[in-house]
Amino acid sequence: MISLEADVLIVGGGMAGTCAAIAAARSGSQTILVERNGFLGGAATAAAVGQFVGWETEAGRRVIAGLAEEVVARLIDNDGAHGHSRFVMSTGHVMDRVQYNPEILKCVLDSLVAEAGVDLLFHAWQAGAETHGARVYGARFLTKSGEISIRARQFIDATGDLDLLQAVSAPMLRADRDRLQPGTLMFAIGPIDFDRFDAIELEEKGALARRGFEEGALARPALHCSRVPGSDHGWFNVTRVTVDGSDARSLSQAEIEGRRQALAAARYIIDKVPGCENARLSAFAPQLGIRETRRALADHTITVEDLASARRFDDTIACGAYPIDLHKANSGALTIEGFGADHAYCVPLRALIVRDFDNLQVAGRGISATQEAHGALRVMPLAMAMGQAVGTAAAMAAGAGNDPAVRDIDISALRDRLSRAGAIIDPDA
């Protein structure tokens, strides 16, 4: 068996894990990032989500920046994004977003990780882990070279599904299977005449979507599309699959059902939607997008009340403004609940430090939150902001010599570092 060592080990190279790795390596830690795919980005690339949403309040006040904004800047430099814009959701809500090209994003993340000095291991599946008391001390991965074992001082589970927490029997939260948010298989079509597509009145778009839903061609009454910047192709988010993303058999069936729905939806859109007449199906996302599986049980579990009251924490490490966005299981319904025009809320580090463990954090959609609060916190700008924070915190703990528990690091020094790195950690700033 091959054995490796690191200060900080991050499992899962989605937007949260990648930002955690960059932050840890930039803070001077020897950092290993392990990803089961052959590229970074997670749902951003493998599920081709196509847009980062929730950077600012409805009133236009920015609440997320830092490393997340560096990713955007690098995308713009590489013709992979055009910057921040606003759009009207299928529910009628106005939202800010950055549309991006998932293929360019893969290259942008490759370069940011390499420049930071992260040791990257692709095509490696986490297969087990070892603990000693309140500490994780190693994790094992299945690879083409056989099993690789990695020991580290600090661990970050950024798998979204919390596979590392599962392996060490950490406490977790999860909704009943039939209440999990559904998955979505994204698909791309083109060429689209976006001048005509974007000019469809909201009412007409709604009627077309409802008709597609009633005819069984669309799994939800929406025609939501993210344009690939600089191209005449768009990724559609209109399928809806009941799935438990932590169950291998359920996932297998869901991939097939996702493609079935995507093909039917693409045919309907090409046939009926203005601007799409000359389009053809050009791609299915490589993987079904999973919105929700397990959530951590951390030192604090964020509630809707925390978000609605903009509760302040002395260990706030990120802010957010995205509303509660819940896709209902087993129906076409989507509910969006905002908190007010200029409302921003706080994300504390304590919601990312796994309870009963001294050196184990989560980031991204594994955050400790009630299911409703999770509906707001799961978006990608926040995943990147959380990643930057836990990566920096892990590096501080790993570099402290006496191996403190990550919850015992100097929190004001952490906040200071994040602030100097451009992160927004004060909702009133």
Ligand X SMILES: Cc1cc2nc3c(=O)[nH]c(=O)nc-3n(C[C@H](O)[C@H](O)[C@H](O)COP(=O)(O)OP(=O)(O)OC[C@H]3O[C@@H](n4cnc5c(N)ncnc54)[C@H](O)[C@@H]3O)c2cc1C
Q: Does 150 bind ligand X (CB under 6 A)?
A: no
Q: Does 289 bind ligand X (CB under 6 A)?
A: yes
Query: Smallest gap, in angstroms, from Cβ of residue 95 to ligand X?
Result: 9
Token pair listed for 47: 């599920």
Query: Which residues, in sequence order, are bridge partners of residue 84?
Result: 98
Residue among 375 and 427 whose Cβ is closer to ligand X: 375
CA-to-CA dists, residue 226 to 148, 187, 202, 208, 379, angstroms = 38, 10, 16, 18, 15
Q: Are 227 and 101 in contact (CB under 8 A)?
A: no
Q: Using CA of residue 35, residue 41, residue 45, residue 49, what is the dihedral sign?
A: positive
The residue to which tokens 């978006």 are assigned: 379
Among 71, 158, 346, 423, binds ligand X (CB under 6 A): 158
Among 153, 240, 300, 378, binds ligand X (CB under 6 A): 378
Query: Which residues, in sequence order, are bridge partners of residue 96?
Result: 86
Residue among 370 and 400 whose Cβ is closer to ligand X: 370
- Cis omega before residue 221 (within 30°)? no
Find, among 161, 39, 209, 42, the residue nearest to 110 by Cα: 39
Q: Where are the beta strands (DSSP E) in 61-193?
A: 81-88, 94-100, 119-121, 125-132, 135-143, 146-157, 172-174, 187-190
Residue among 74 and 295 whose Cβ is closer to ligand X: 295
Token pair listed for 194: 């976006």
* Tally of CB atoms within 10 A around 358: 18
Per-residue binding letters, 19-48, with ligand X (x by CB under 6 A): ---------------xxxx----xxx--x-
* The one segment of 102-110, 153-161, 309-317, 401-409 that binds ligand X by CB under 6 A: 153-161
d(CA 314, CA 346): 10
Q: Does 284 bind ligand X (CB under 6 A)?
A: no
Token pair listed for 114: 């390499």
Query: Smallest gap, in angstroms, from Cβ of residue 404 to ligand X?
Result: 26
Among 126, 246, 261, 359, binds ligand X (CB under 6 A): 126
Among 11, 223, 251, 411, binds ligand X (CB under 6 A): 11
Cβ neighbours for 204, distance < 8 A, ≥ 6 positions apart: none
Query: Smallest gap, in angstroms, from Cβ of residue 361 to ligand X?
Result: 12
The residue to which tokens 């847009």 are assigned: 51
Per-residue binding letters, 327-366, with ligand X (x by CB under 6 A): -------------------------------------xx-
Among 29, 57, 237, 392, binds ligand X (CB under 6 A): 237
Among 6, 9, 10, 15, binds ligand X (CB under 6 A): 15
Sheet of 51-53: strand order equals 51-53, 94-100, 81-88
Among 10, 32, 53, 208, binds ligand X (CB under 6 A): 53
Beta-strand pair 294-296/172-174:
antiparallel
Considering only residues 54 through 83, tell me which ones interact with ligand X, judged by CB under 6 A.
none
Amino acid letter, residue 90 = S
Cβ neighbours for 349, distance < 8 A, ≥ 6 positions apart: 315, 316, 317, 389, 390, 393, 407, 411, 414
Residue among 101 and 159 whose Cβ is closer to ligand X: 159
Q: How many residues belong to the site for ligand X (CB under 6 A)?
A: 37
Residue among 152 and 271 whose Cβ is closer to ligand X: 152
The residue to which tokens 């299981």 are assigned: 329
Among 8, 21, 23, 49, binds ligand X (CB under 6 A): 49
Query: Smallest gap, in angstroms, from Cβ of residue 401 to ligand X?
Result: 30
Residue among 138 and 402 whose Cβ is closer to ligand X: 138
Query: Which residues, in sequence order, are bridge partners of residue 87?
Result: 95
Residue among 372 and 399 whose Cβ is closer to ligand X: 372
Residue, CB closest to ligand X: 364
Residue among 126 and 371 whose Cβ is closer to ligand X: 126
Q: Which residues contribute to the site for ligand X (CB under 6 A)? A: 11-17, 34-37, 42-44, 47, 49, 51-53, 125-126, 158-161, 163, 184, 237, 289-291, 364-365, 378-380, 383
